[in-house]
Structure 1
Amino acid sequence: MNKELIMPTEMTIKDKKQLVKGNVIRAAVFARSKVIEVMTADNERYYFIYYKNTLIYGDKLDKVEEGTFISKAFSEGLVIQSPHPLATALIPHLSVSIPNKSRLFPQLEIHFSLEEMAYIATTLDSFIEKEQLIKTIDKVFFHFRRDGNFMKSFQVLQMLNNFAPAFKSAKDRMGSQEFHSYHHFYHSSSLPAIFKKDPLYVEIHCFKNRSNPEERILLEEILSKQDGLIGLLLWLETADKLQEPKSIEKYTEIALSFVTMEEWIPILGEVNINPFCELPETKSIIQKMLQKGHYTQAALCLLNFIDDLPASYDAFLKEIWENSDSKFVIAHFDEFIKLLQHLPHDEKSKQLEQKVFQIAAILLEEHDLNTVHEKLAPIQTLHPDSEVIRKINEMFELEENPDRMMELGDFYAEFKQFDKAIDCFFWEMELQPQNPSPVRKICKMYQNKGMVNEAAAYQKVYAQLKRNQETG
């Protein structure tokens, strides 16, 4: 995705009594949970855990340990790398305060069910000792069992066993006779049937196994009723393999709740969907950009699809070429070469020459002549009569001929490469120390550079050589 026009998502963090600002580096969705990674100007990294869009906890971490929930979220979840148009939509608040760790679980118990609190505990192992989390989950288990709610106690026990498979007590309880019927229910029932009893389990199971068609379909159904944004990210994960027009239209409608069409176009490009072939309304979007003079934005949208654009976009491409800054063209040179192939070969020779001249001048400033010659070769293929390219070709040949440095210098001067021109004229001046012509040219180059003292010095040398010539 072209990210030149996407601003990074900035977050403000209240850490104890200090305010810290940082940019979101990436975000990961894992079922009902999210992880946001933020980097400060001092390269410190903060991580924040959310559950159902509620901030649970966060803090600064020097390292994310392998096997923790945060590590799993970024390796197995739906990940967005920043900057990304959907990043801001994914983060509930761009200003957060790190919760008090000592009051964390009492607060969670107020806002969430006990089984949800048990699950949330499994996501906090980067911040809280695992033994403490095990004890917290275990307490929830015993609470349900004491109340005679064996189904919920079994649900929590499954979480605990998955979270801490080496915890022998949980393993022993899983195999006990009192939970045999629940084992049978989870292993023999369909996922929709289990969902009625344990929606959290099914949602997490389907998310982990979303590569399987059955689980993915059910997960899509669940998300369609809960969270359109997560459903959108789920679709984007495999959209490049399932390019069905109805599906693209459906998720475009959902996406426009979170981003603009201008932002949605490059997102589709990232999953290899050409919006200019699939969505007719995109043409009017580009037209409006150009009417507002947003040529760079329009170019960044179209250049991704330059190999497969309908012919009706050629007029837009011509307008973009004529109005794009030369430095921007160079930054996307390969794509602009393809753009030129869409343009008619007549009527624009003068305009083309002006643009190619500007491009050549910038390239000569940044690269050696051989590199410039190679970079501009594709333009010669498309426009063999270009006078600018002819001059570059001639310069390329002159560079190997020390007897024609004056000519090479004149070419450099024409392209406003005054330092390189001076080098050529110096060479000639050393070969012909009595010839005033290269000295006069050096004087002129310093004048063009605004170096008055140097120009005056060479003007004196030139005047002396001219007098010597006249009296000789």
Structure 2
Amino acid sequence: MNKGINLPTEVSIKDKKQVEKGNVRRAAIFARSKVIEVQTETAECYYLLYYKNSLIYGAKLGKVVEGTFIHKALNEGIIIESPHPLLTALHPHGSITIPNKNKLFSQLQLHYSLQELAYITTTLDSFFEKDQLISIIDKVFFHFRRSGKFMKSYQILLLLNDFSPSLKSVQERMGSREFHSYRDFYQSDLPSILTKDPLFVERHCFHHRAQPEKRLLLADILSKQDSLVSLLLWLENADQQQSSDTITQYTDLALQFVTMEEWIYVLGQMKINPVRVLPDTKKVLEKMLQNGEHEKAALCLFHFIADLPSSYDPLLETIWDHSSCEFILSHLDEFVPFLQHLPHPESTRKEEEKIYQLAVRLLEEHGVLVVHEKLRSISKLFPHSQVIRKINEMIKLVENPDKMMELGDYYAEFKQFDKAIDCFFWEMELQPQNPFPVRKISKMYQYKGLAKEAAAYQKIYDQLKRNQETG
């Protein structure tokens, strides 16, 4: 979602004695873990790793290495990118302090069970050597086995096998007779395994959430422990047909984290027509327009213009009238059906002014051929527009060296004074005794606020004019 509602994403990261500011670019959810990517003011990236919404560790990474947990999360997890409204509910606000790396594992043991410690350890391979992490997980395994907790020790082996599947010692231990019954147990149905090892089931279902039955089980698990991740899981598949009851259920859930305006926008991005499923949509949009949030309202409606009742026409007209040229041009393809939906998109004085503003803005960055192409869709809607006619005339003149004066006049009319000056200079060089191109150059500099240059060319014009009168 590259274009959207802008929301605050600023964070401050304290790493040892250094403090850096940055903006959250995206978040990735994978089972009970979360990765937050923060781009600093110097365009470097911090990666913050969370477990159950608590910060575990973080550091700058030049690149995310393939095969690491962070790489897996960013490629296989549930990804929320800026400027998605729900990103603000996922990322930390204010100041973040990175834990001391040397004391990290001793601190983790104080706050988490040994099984959780082993799992968290498997997510830290972007920050620690893999052999060091394997050693820590091994210690947990041997602790459980010495204590006679063979189910727990087998659970650690499953984590270690997933973390380092090529490790021969793990395969040998998993194949030993003492774990035979546990191997059979993990071949049984997932609801039974859930009673003994919820972490395993959650990770397994998350990894295989494309399978409907495992997605349903995961949704049930998340609904009881993390309502935000439960919502994100639903949104990941929300573009598929949904019942009104389900949408109502998740709307109630979403409003814990975002406003109704933001939720309408999110549904729109998921191709769910908020006008059909949320009875208060029109009132919410009208309030947005009253508050001057015209572009925000437009973003909520772009996907459903053709499906709007005529009662929305006044809202669409208001949005078009009050949206900035920059916004319209960045969403030009979406605004075409927007205008088509209006009853009579005739080229009135008001419409002419808007088209003129668009043309001026485009000509500031592009040549007239590109501008003509970008306004093609608008020209079909307003075939009698004088602005469009002038752009079409400029197309004919741009390659004709004998028509530079006329082309320069058009550029001046669109406030492109530098381009107009170029045209008049061309004519001045072709006709050095003609005072009129010089007069126009003086005027252009005057419009640009360059009085000294304007006065200089005015003097040249006056001299040429006198020469003409006495010649």
Alignment of 1:213-362 (within 5 A): 213-345=212-344, 349-362=348-361
Q: Secondary structure at the match of 1:248?
A: helix
C-alpha distance in structure 2 between counterparts of 1:36 and 1:146, whole Å: 38
Q: Structure 1 residue 304: deviation in Å?
A: 4.1
C-alpha distance in structure 1 between counterparts of 2:265 and 2:435, whole Å: 59
Q: Partner of 1:11 in structure 2?
A: 11
Q: Which amino acid aligns with 1:140?
A: V
Q: Structure 1 167/370 Cα, relative in aligned 2: closer, same or farther at 3 Å?
A: closer
Does residue 135 in structure 1 map to residue 150 in structure 2?
no
C-alpha distance in structure 2 between counterparts of 1:29 and 1:114, whole Å: 22
Q: Structure 1 residue 297: deviation in Å?
A: 1.8
C-alpha distance in structure 2 between counterparts of 1:328 and 1:144, whole Å: 61
Q: Partner of 2:373 in structure 1?
A: 374
Does residue 410 in structure 1 map to residue 409 in structure 2?
yes
Q: Structure 1 residue 347: deviation in Å?
A: 7.4
Q: Structure 1 residue 218: deviation in Å?
A: 0.8
**Is contact 2:347–2:384 with CA below 8 Å preserved after alignment?**
no
Q: Partner of 1:59 in structure 2?
A: 59
Mean Cα deviation higher: 123-132 or 315-324: 123-132
Q: Which amino acid aligns with 2:326?
A: K
Q: Partner of 1:174 in structure 2?
A: 174
Q: Structure 1 470/169 Cα, relative in aligned 2: closer, same or farther at 3 Å?
A: closer
Q: Secondary structure at the match of 1:226?
A: coil
Q: TM-score, normalised by structure 2?
A: 0.92
Q: Partner of 1:98 in structure 2?
A: 98
Q: Structure 1 462/121 Cα, relative in aligned 2: closer, same or farther at 3 Å?
A: closer
Residues 42-63 of structure 1, C-alpha deviations (whole Å, 9 max, x = no match):
3333222211112222223333
Q: Secondary structure at the match of 1:366?
A: coil
C-alpha distance in structure 2 between counterparts of 1:169 and 1:400, whole Å: 76
Q: Structure 1 residue 228: deviation in Å?
A: 0.7
Q: Which amino acid aligns with 1:358?
A: Q
**Is contact 1:53–1:92 with CA below 8 Å preserved after alignment?**
no
Q: Which amino acid aligns with 1:297?
A: K
C-alpha distance in structure 1 between counterparts of 2:51 and 2:407, whole Å: 68
Q: Secondary structure at the match of 2:231?
A: helix
Q: Partner of 1:114 in structure 2?
A: 114
Q: Structure 1 residue 364: deviation in Å?
A: 2.5
C-alpha distance in structure 1 between counterparts of 2:415 and 2:44, whole Å: 45
**Is contact 2:38–2:46 with CA below 8 Å preserved after alignment?**
yes
Q: Secondary structure at the match of 2:364?
A: helix
The unaligned stretches of length 5 or more in structure 2 are none
Q: Structure 1 406/158 Cα, relative in aligned 2: closer, same or farther at 3 Å?
A: closer
Residues 110-154 of structure 1, C-alpha deviations (whole Å, 9 max, x = no match):
212222222222222222333332232222223223333222222
Q: Structure 1 140/317 Cα, relative in aligned 2: closer, same or farther at 3 Å?
A: same
**Is contact 2:4–2:84 with CA below 8 Å preserved after alignment?**
no
C-alpha distance in structure 1 between counterparts of 2:202 and 2:99, whole Å: 27
C-alpha distance in structure 2 between counterparts of 1:93 and 1:440, whole Å: 59
**Is contact 1:118–1:159 with CA below 8 Å preserved after alignment?**
yes
Q: Structure 1 322/142 Cα, relative in aligned 2: closer, same or farther at 3 Å?
A: same
C-alpha distance in structure 2 between counterparts of 1:208 and 1:346, whole Å: 51
Q: Partner of 1:196 in structure 2?
A: 195
**Is contact 1:277–1:310 with CA below 8 Å preserved after alignment?**
no
Q: Secondary structure at the match of 1:426?
A: helix
C-alpha distance in structure 2 between counterparts of 1:126 and 1:412, whole Å: 56
**Is contact 1:144–1:153 with CA below 8 Å preserved after alignment?**
yes
Mean Cα deviation higher: 69-78 or 3-12: 3-12
**Is contact 2:27–2:81 with CA below 8 Å preserved after alignment?**
yes
Q: Which amino acid aligns with 1:285?
A: V
**Is contact 1:24–1:37 with CA below 8 Å preserved after alignment?**
yes
Q: Structure 1 residue 361: deviation in Å?
A: 2.1
Q: Structure 1 residue 336: deviation in Å?
A: 2.3
Q: Structure 1 164/390 Cα, relative in aligned 2: closer, same or farther at 3 Å?
A: closer
Q: Partner of 2:35 in structure 1?
A: 35
Mean Cα deviation higher: 115-124 or 92-101: 92-101
Structure 1 runs of 4+ aligned residues shifted over 4 Å read: none
Q: Secondary structure at the match of 2:411?
A: helix
Q: Secondary structure at the match of 1:119?
A: helix
Q: Partner of 1:73 in structure 2?
A: 73
Q: Structure 1 11/457 Cα, relative in aligned 2: closer, same or farther at 3 Å?
A: closer
Residues 151-190 of structure 1, C-alpha deviations (whole Å, 9 max, x = no match):
2222222222322333333322222222222222221x32
**Is contact 1:307–1:338 with CA below 8 Å preserved after alignment?**
yes
Q: Partner of 2:418 in structure 1?
A: 419
Q: Which amino acid aligns with 1:471?
A: T
Q: Partner of 1:440 in structure 2?
A: 439
Q: Structure 1 322/152 Cα, relative in aligned 2: closer, same or farther at 3 Å?
A: same
Give RMSD over aligned pairs.
2.4
C-alpha distance in structure 2 between counterparts of 1:370 and 1:166, whole Å: 60
Q: Partner of 2:144 in structure 1?
A: 144
Q: Secondary structure at the match of 1:210?
A: coil
**Is contact 2:11–2:92 with CA below 8 Å preserved after alignment?**
no
The unaligned stretches of length 5 or more in structure 1 are none
Number of aligned residue pairs: give it.
471
Q: Partner of 2:208 in structure 1?
A: 209
Residues 74-124 of structure 1, C-alpha deviations (whole Å, 9 max, x = no match):
222112223332222113554222222333233222212222222222222
**Is contact 1:35–1:70 with CA below 8 Å preserved after alignment?**
yes
Q: Structure 1 450/246 Cα, relative in aligned 2: closer, same or farther at 3 Å?
A: same
Q: Which amino acid aligns with 2:172?
A: D
C-alpha distance in structure 1 between counterparts of 2:45 and 2:377, whole Å: 45
Q: Structure 1 436/163 Cα, relative in aligned 2: closer, same or farther at 3 Å?
A: closer
Q: Secondary structure at the match of 1:290?
A: helix
